[in-house]
Amino acid sequence: MSQENSRTEVVSPARTFRGSVRLPGDKSISHRYAMLAGLAEGKSTFANFSTGADPHSSLACMQQLGASVTKEPSAITITGAAGNFQQPTGALDCGNSGSTMRMLAGLVAPHVGTFTFVGDASLSARPMERIRGPLEKMRARISLTQGHAPMTVHGGSLQAIHFDTPIASAQVKTAVLFAGLQAQGETSLTESVRTRDHSEHALRAFGAELERSSDGIRIRGGQSLHAIDAVIPGDLSSAAFFLCATLLFPDAQIVFDDLGMNPSRSTLLDVLVSMGLKVQVLNLEEKHGELIGTVQANGAACIQGATIAGTLSAQLIDELPVLAAIAPYTNSGVTIRDAKELRVKESDRIALVVRNLRAMGAEVTEHEDGMSIPGNQALHGGLIDSGDDHRIAMAFAIAALRATGETAIQGAEAAAISFPEFFPLLRTMSQS
């Protein structure tokens, strides 16, 4: 983000946190629906599409590839390219979105043409070798710049492979599945840690067949996709910030309508319940394979600590910054290990969380793969550096609610990457 557009948001302490909210559509699902609708035959319509900048980068790329996209206040309509992407006239600009760059590379790789992907400074520093490996095994040719974007995919006919994912990454898995959908033969992959399964549900929703077993996923090549209409559930990763805010106050209460409750994402709720949050799921239904529910959460009189390590760290990778930000308020602290992937996100999230906690007066020990944060600490307001990272900006806005004095968050506009409504909603629900 350019310095001249930088915005500082001041967050004041709150007495409690209360409200009812329907969140913008799930970012992960919005990405996948945008891409598959862009490839499919026919016209797809999506209500409650994510308002975040990242999924709109995916929409813009689909337009460059020959899909038609119409944005209305109530819905997004995408008329697909019916299985045949056109050669884009310029580079595919993914903005800040690693999901767009990594997953879309797999989707375009089976198409004859040259597809160049670019992004902002943050995205251009993130690792892309992880998708080059499997896609080149399938006979695509990928050119990187010292392992990073700009990235060029030289597409053409692909061959199915078996792939053992070396890291827990839903984006890498999706790139392989999207390529396998259009390859010759049956592509299979295994995961040592099971990642979020939105891609599997989305592929089935658009008419593809795939098999999920205990040891992996199989998808047959040569399948075509057909348009769907869908309402995208509220984003659980966005809800994470408000759930953590609710945990901080004994009399706090929040109700989420139509919240995504995918079991591969709801590990967060299990952890927050173990920390003292009271959660009720008031109703639950399934749409296009995704579970959607109304969720009520109430605060805790005593906030328990937690140890997050191993597969749990991989499952909670996006939520770890906000869990770390509220860790000083727990009774026994929070330890996070096996989360080295945080260092190659939109920022080095381990370093930034540690620096900002210390700016608020917290004691914290930094590890190469995480951090240890003692409990029973009092925080004071401070100057927070978001590092142009949306999750850092929002995480420390939550920590600020229980601090003494005001907290100034520099680079607060980064929240728009995933949750443009965050600060207005935070002000509405924070009660002084």
Looking at the structure of the chain, the number of domains it has is 2
Cα 23 from Cα 238, distance rounded (Å): 8
Cα 208 from Cα 222, distance rounded (Å): 10
Based on the fold, state whether residues 16 and 90 are members of the same structural domain. Answer: no
CATH number for 143:
3.65.10.10
Q: What is the pLDDT of residues 327-342, one digit of tens each?
A: 999 999 999 999 999 9
Look at residue 294 and tell me if it is in a domain. Answer: no
Based on the fold, state whether residues 159 and 244 are members of the same structural domain. Answer: no
Cα 419 from Cα 237, distance rounded (Å): 10
Residues of the chain with pLDDT under 70: 1-5
106 CB neighbour count, 10 Å cutoff:
29
Based on the fold, state whether residues 146 and 201 are members of the same structural domain. Answer: yes
Residues noted as catalytic: 318
Look at residue 341 and tell me if it is in a domain. Answer: yes
Based on the fold, state whether residues 8 and 84 are members of the same structural domain. Answer: no
Look at residue 242 and tell me if it is in a domain. Answer: yes
Q: What is the b/e burial string over 223-238, where b = at least 16 CB atoms within 10 angstroms of the residue's CB?
A: bebbbbebbbbbbbbb
Based on the fold, state whether residues 128 and 238 are members of the same structural domain. Answer: no
Domain that holds residue 422: 3-22+234-248+305-431
Q: Which two tokens stand for residue 416?
A: 């728009």
Based on the fold, state whether residues 68 and 200 are members of the same structural domain. Answer: yes
Based on the fold, state whether residues 136 and 244 are members of the same structural domain. Answer: no
Based on the fold, state whether residues 80 and 199 are members of the same structural domain. Answer: yes
Based on the fold, state whether residues 15 and 41 are members of the same structural domain. Answer: no
Beta carbons of 385 and 360 less than 8 angstroms apart: no
Q: DSSP letters of 117-153? A: EE--TTGGGS--HHHHHHHHHTT-EEEEETTEEEEEE
pTM for the whole thing? 0.94
- pLDDT for res 193: 83
Look at residue 271 and tell me if it is in a domain. Answer: no
Look at residue 192 and tell me if it is in a domain. Answer: yes
Look at residue 281 and tell me if it is in a domain. Answer: no
Based on the fold, state whether residues 12 and 43 are members of the same structural domain. Answer: no
Based on the fold, state whether residues 180 and 127 are members of the same structural domain. Answer: yes
210 forms beta bridges with 219
Q: DSSP letters of 362-387? A: ---EEETTEEEE-SS---B--EEE-T
Q: From start to end of 229-277, where are the E strands? A: 229-231, 253-260
Look at residue 297 and tell me if it is in a domain. Answer: no
Based on the fold, state whether residues 352 and 239 are members of the same structural domain. Answer: yes
Look at residue 296 and tell me if it is in a domain. Answer: no
Cα 322 from Cα 339, distance rounded (Å): 14
